[in-house]
Amino acid sequence: QTVVTQEPSFSVSPGGTVTLTCGLSSGSVSSSNYPSWYQQTPGQAPRTLIYSTNTRSSGVPDRFSGFIFGNKAALTITGAQADDESDYYCVIYMDSGISVFGGGTKLTVL
């Protein structure tokens, strides 16, 4: 069974930069997994940030960027703001046609 791994929690100072990662329990993440990233605040629907590794969704500021870092997908947030405090989820697409969510990273801005 495929497990997608994310840091459970992370903190960043206002104005700072943070990189969240998304890996596989076995194997490497590559662009052919079309990694994507989503932001969710409590009680709200998810918001799409990045898809196909590094394509920003409509309206997403360029403070958010996605890339492959070694054997993982990564999301970097620069100039962190208070309203970036959210849960962040990655999704990995598998050859079998299924998509798998990571467990999410709770980002604190303080």
Partner 1 sequence: QVQLVESGGGVVQPGRSLRLSCAASGFTFSSYGMHWVRQAPGKGLEWVAVMPPDGSNKYYGDSVKGRFTISRDNSKNTLYLQMNSLRAEDTAVYYCAKSPWHLSSFDYWGQGTLVTVSS
Least distance (Å) between residue 96 CB and partner 1: 7
Least distance (Å) between residue 42 CB and partner 1: 10
Of 47, 42, 52, 50, the residue nearest 19 (C-alpha): 50
Q: Which of 38, 75, 77, 84 binds partner 1 (CB under 8 A)?
A: 38
Could you tell me how many residues of this chain bind partner 1 (CB under 8 A)? 28
Q: Which residues bind partner 1 (CB under 8 A)?
A: 1, 33-34, 36, 38, 40, 45-48, 51-52, 55, 57-58, 87, 89, 91, 93, 96-104
